Chain A
């Protein structure tokens, strides 16, 4: 009994302290060093924060360059897939074109009417948000984290909590800001929680990421039922961080749960707009 315990302690001591012919550090030293770095990082000291921010900027750039072969292979795959489905796509586009022709006439009428009304009110035709556009340089996801790295940071006035939009739809919010880069936590991440409102009833809920493509709707009112025609989900702005009224997706039933089909596919994001502030003239919307 004591012999086997001795064998175990000798083997573990040897594993911890032994250095091979080409090993410069023992495992024991490196584990201690890791604990020291971990403690420093958790202490949230300002010099450590600055150092980490610089380290992040540097590694993100290297990471973006080293990921280019993966990005290229992914775009080549998309190219071939698109060509395979070109006939089906053509049929779909023809139908869509017919629908759009009809809608165009309607839009033209509404545009004219809108112009007339705006002239009456003397409003400037502005976007509802002041945005800064950024390119996604890295979208490394782990099983536990769905986030994107963009090439704009505090040098472009980006701050923590700002909403990230893709084609006008919400895709996430800023959770880390470095000098020349930032990280966006996507809506489908397990840690993402966004207060939303479901139209047309105006029911309040929390959009909660599940790690899957369609985030869940939690804390819905009792006896909540989905509308037959429309179930659009918008930000409610109740948290005081995100602006209200940003389109997020459509509420649908999936496996007996109410989830949100996002308007912007989190896997297809190359560029994002970060909403810095909402225009004070809400009427311009």
Chain B
């Protein structure tokens, strides 16, 4: 019984990034702050990029797709808009994982620019051409910029968590 409980606890702890991603997509969690009107960032991109790059077994592509659909419903966007943008971020992460032998914060961070660029461009293109919504270039630009700037902060946090989780599972 104790072993089963421990196994359950371990898997919950291991799947925390997945739960975080689902929670951010489904809840009222805001990444836009009105006190600094240009400040917003895309935490979903950061989570997806980091975990697909570092440990794809935790964050499956199916869950990324599902989270995108949930986000579209909650934000009333055309279905699969966010899903497509998240999947292209995953594609860049999977490519970088296959193409590079040794990764560091800097390689992750600079290849993340490509992922943000593709993800946000796709989102912008789909929203402006297929939805009755108007998005300004500047909003997308600031969102991309702050997502890029914040990546190392979350990278550090996720690294600590990954090592902690790895140490526990090896103990």
Q: Tell me the A residues contacting B by CB distance below 8 Å.
A: 7-8, 10-12, 14-16, 18, 20-27, 30-31, 33-35, 37-38, 40-42, 52, 55-56, 59-60, 62-63, 66-67, 70-71, 138-145, 147, 175-176, 183, 190-191, 211-213, 267
Question: Contact: B98 with A15, CB < 8 Å?
Answer: yes
With beta carbons under 8 angstroms apart, the residue of A31, A56, A70 that contacts B84 is A31
B binding-site residues for A, Cβ under 8 Å: 23, 26-32, 34, 37, 40, 56-57, 60-62, 64-65, 68-70, 73-81, 83-84, 87-88, 90-91, 94-95, 97-99, 126-127, 130, 132-136, 139, 142-143
With A38-B126, A190-B135, A190-B136 in contact, do A33 and B26 touch (Cβ < 8 Å)? Answer: no
Task: Tell which of A15, A62, A139 touches B91, judged by Cβ atoms closer than 8 Å.
Answer: A15
Residues of B within 8 A of A211 (CB): 37, 136, 139
Determine the chain B residues whose CB is within 8 A of the CB of A142 once the complex forms.
31-32, 40, 75
Assess the B28–A138 pair: CB atoms within 8 A.
yes
Instruction: For the complex of A and B, list the 4 residue pairs with the smallest distance between their C-beta atoms, beginning with the closest.
Output: A15-B94, A143-B40, A67-B28, A41-B79
What secondary structure prevails in chain B residues at the interface with A? helix
Complex CA distance for A18 and B78, rounded to whole angstroms = 28
Complex Cα gap A66–B74 (Å): 12
- Given A15-B91, A144-B135, A144-B139, verify A267-B34 contact (CB < 8 Å): yes
Contact (Cβ within 8 A) A145 B61: no
Inter-chain contact B70/A59, CB cutoff 8 Å: yes
Cα distance A71–B27 in the bound complex, in angstroms: 10
Please determine whether B34 and A140 come into contact, CB atoms closer than 8 angstroms: no
Instruction: Name the B residues within 8 Å of A22 (CB-CB).
Output: 57, 60
Contact A34 B28 (CB under 8 A): no
Contact residues in B for A23 (Cβ distance below 8 Å): 56-57, 60-62
**Minimum distance in angstroms from A257 CB to a CB of chain B:** 14
Check A34 against B80 for contact (C-beta < 8 Å).
yes
Q: How far is the CA of A15 from the CA of B87 in the complex (A)?
A: 11
Q: A42-B78, A138-B74, A143-B139 are in contact. Are A27 and B87 (CB under 8 A)?
A: yes
Chosen A-B contacts, 28 in total, with CB atoms closer than 8 Å, are: A14-B98, A15-B97, A18-B94, A23-B62, A24-B60, A25-B62, A25-B65, A27-B94, A30-B87, A34-B65, A35-B84, A38-B78, A38-B126, A60-B74, A66-B23, A66-B26, A138-B28, A142-B40, A143-B31, A143-B40, A144-B135, A145-B77, A190-B139, A191-B132, A211-B139, A212-B37, A213-B34, A267-B34
8 further contact pairs, Cβ within 8 A, besides A16-B94, A38-B81: A15-B95, A20-B57, A30-B61, A56-B73, A59-B26, A59-B73, A190-B139, A211-B136
With A21-B57, A42-B78, A213-B34 known to touch, is A140 a contact of B132 (CB < 8 Å)?
no
In chain B, what residue has the closest Cβ to A145?
Answer: B75
Q: Which residues of A contact B31 (CB under 8 A)?
A: 142-143
**Residue of B whose beta carbon sits closest to that of A69:** B27
CA gap between A31 and B87 in the complex, in Å: 7
Question: Quick one: closest A residue to B60, CB to CB?
Answer: A23
Residues of B near A141 (CB, < 8 A) are 30, 32
Q: How far is the CA of A172 from the CA of B58 in the complex (A)?
A: 41
Q: Contacts A141-B30, A191-B133 given; indicate if A147 touches B76 (C-beta within 8 A).
A: yes
Chain B residues closer than 8 Å to A21, beta-carbon distance: 57
The reply to whether A30 and B62 contact each other, CB–CB distance below 8 Å, is yes
Query: Which of A24, A35, A139 is close to B28, meaning CB atoms less than 8 Å apart?
Result: A139
Closest Cβ–Cβ distance, residue B15 to chain A (whole Å) = 11
A30-B87, A42-B130, A145-B133 known; A183 vs B61 contact (CB < 8 Å)? no
